């Protein structure tokens, strides 16, 4: 297997892929693959419901929350959120932390009034705003936050208290990488393709009372209420993706739940950040240490030439995905839940070797 540091779609746990492979053609003696089955049948519905229950169970089963499966990735959520939650006379509040927060805000601007509640643009998004500096507008419909900026490599370690204003969080690149208190959020969402499963489905965990009604003028598929009323089975769901999510959730349970994966993730990230910090300036972390992400580790070398050489040499050694996002350049190691510690160890050995052979 490659040492896969892709930012997304990203590595899946090998055990999950192997289990899915074993039942790929004949799902539990049904004579069919799960992806060939009717989404109205008992076999698929059991998987669908199990995935929802497992997810809530990993989050401690707080009451009043529902799990929805929606197609169109996290990017469709950028639009659905203001469409469903931003009423006349209110402003959608956003914390501006980088590339993904910016995309979310741009969609809200298409729908109605917006307000930037805090921004770290001044630092070129290399450090996160302080929670105490987040200023909601008086007419805030909700506050939107990006817990982990995949491109810049920042991650909130804590979340603001927004009182009665629903806190909505894009957790696409760090969902289920650590425990968090769902009760502090009105809604949490993520494209599946980093920590949850294959691309093609976004997972939305939302307080039911926020979506018991949706604006009547919205198209059916863009109303959260449609997914709530029909248990995300209004139309044909991305059934294979949801099956894979259920398998990934089982794997997380086996790893000791969210505390277990957090422990692994901290060790992996510390290993790589230490290699950067102890390189005598050869490697330079991009992000202010207090805002660093445990999921996406961004770093640079002295010149772009040297970075190109690094990527080329790494690919020869079986590493994948270490080139930074095209919009910011540099280097990035994405170390989601499924990236084994051994891959991180191989990376720091490679970094050391590359440095010493310059």
170 tagged catalytic = yes
Q: Is 40 annotated as a binding residue?
A: yes
In whole angstroms, give the CA distance from residue 243 to residue 194. 15
**Is 173 among the residues that bind ligand PLP (CB under 6 A)?**
yes
Closest to ligand PLP by CB, 111 vs 346, is 111
Active-site entry in 106, 138, 161, 194: 194
| Contact present, 185 and 165 (Cβ < 8 Å) | no
Q: Is 100 annotated as a binding residue?
A: yes
Q: How far apart are the first and last CA of the chain?
A: 28
Window 178-207: contact mask with ligand PLP (x via CB under 6 A): -------------x----------------
Identify which of 180, 186, 189 has the alpha carbon closest to the alpha carbon of residue 156. 180
In the complex, what is the shortest distance from the CB of residue 8 to ligand PLP, in angstroms, rounded to a whole number? 5
Specify whether the backbone of 171 is left (phi greater than 0), alpha (psi in -120 to 50) or beta: alpha
In the complex, what is the shortest distance from the CB of residue 41 to ligand PLP, in angstroms, rounded to a whole number? 28
Active-site entry in 66, 170, 174, 268: 170
String of DSSP letters for 126-170: SSPPPGGG----TTEEEEEEESEETTTTEE-SS----TTSPEEEE
- Out of 52, 93, 114, 146, the only residue in the binding site for ligand PLP (CB under 6 A) is 146
Closest to ligand PLP by CB, 12 vs 74, is 74
Residues 57-86 that bind ligand PLP (CB under 6 A): 73-75
- Out of 100, 125, 282, 350, the only residue in the binding site for ligand PLP (CB under 6 A) is 100
Residue for token digits 């969402």?
189
In whole angstroms, give the CA distance from residue 129 to residue 48. 38
251 tagged catalytic = no
Distance (Å) of CA 106 to CA 33, 51, 227, 316: 40, 32, 25, 39
Positions marked active-site: 100, 170, 194
Query: What residues make contact with ligand PLP under the rule CB under 6 A?
Result: 8, 73-75, 100, 146, 150, 170, 172-173, 191
User: Residues comprising the binding site for pyridoxal 5'-phosphate?
Assistant: 74-75, 100, 150, 170, 193, 235-236
């Amino acid at each position: 297997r490659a040492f896969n540091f892709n930012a997304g779609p990203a590595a899946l746990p090998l055990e999950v892929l192997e289990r899915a492979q074993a039942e790929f053609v004949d799902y539990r003696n049904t004579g069919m693959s799960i992806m060939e089955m009717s989404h109205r049948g008992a076999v698929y519905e059991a998987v669908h419901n199990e995935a929802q229950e497992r997810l809530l169970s990993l989050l401690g089963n707080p009451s009043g929350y529902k799990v929805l499966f929606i197609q169109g990735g996290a990017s469709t959520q950028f639009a659905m959120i203001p469409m469903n939650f931003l009423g006349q006379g209110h402003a959608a509040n956003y914390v501006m932390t980088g590339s993904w927060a910016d995309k979310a805000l741009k969609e809200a601007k298409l729908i109605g009034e917006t307000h930037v509640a805090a921004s770290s643009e001044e630092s070129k998004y290399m450090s996160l705003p302080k929670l105490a500096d987040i200023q909601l507008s008086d007419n805030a419909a909700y506050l939107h936050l990006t817990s982990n900026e995949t491109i810049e490599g920042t991650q909130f370690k804590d979340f603001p208290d927004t009182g009665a204003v629903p806190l909505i969080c894009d957790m696409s690149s760090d969902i289920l990488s650590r425990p968090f208190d769902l009760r502090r959020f009105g809604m949490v969402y993520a494209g599946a393709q980093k920590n949850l499963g294959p691309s093609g489905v976004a997972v939305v965990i939302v307080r039911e009372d926020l979506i018991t009604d949706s604006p009547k003028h919205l198209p059916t598929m863009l109303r959260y209420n449609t997914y709530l009323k029909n248990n995300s089975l209004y139309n044909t769901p991305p059934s294979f993706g949801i099956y894979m999510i259920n398998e990934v959730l089982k794997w997380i349970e086996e790893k000791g739940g969210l505390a277990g994966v957090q422990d692994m993730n901290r060790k992996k990230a510390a290993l790589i950040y230490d290699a950067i910090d102890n390189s005598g300036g050869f490697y330079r972390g991009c992000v202010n240490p207090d805002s660093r992400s445990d999921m996406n580790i961004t770093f640079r070398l002295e010149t772009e030439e040297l970075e190109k050489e690094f990527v080329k040499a790494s690919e020869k050694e079986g590493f994948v995905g270490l080139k930074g996002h095209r919009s910011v350049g540099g280097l990035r190691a994405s170390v989601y839940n499924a990236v084994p510690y051994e891959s991180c160890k191989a990376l720091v050995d490679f970094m050391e070797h590359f440095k010493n052979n310059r």
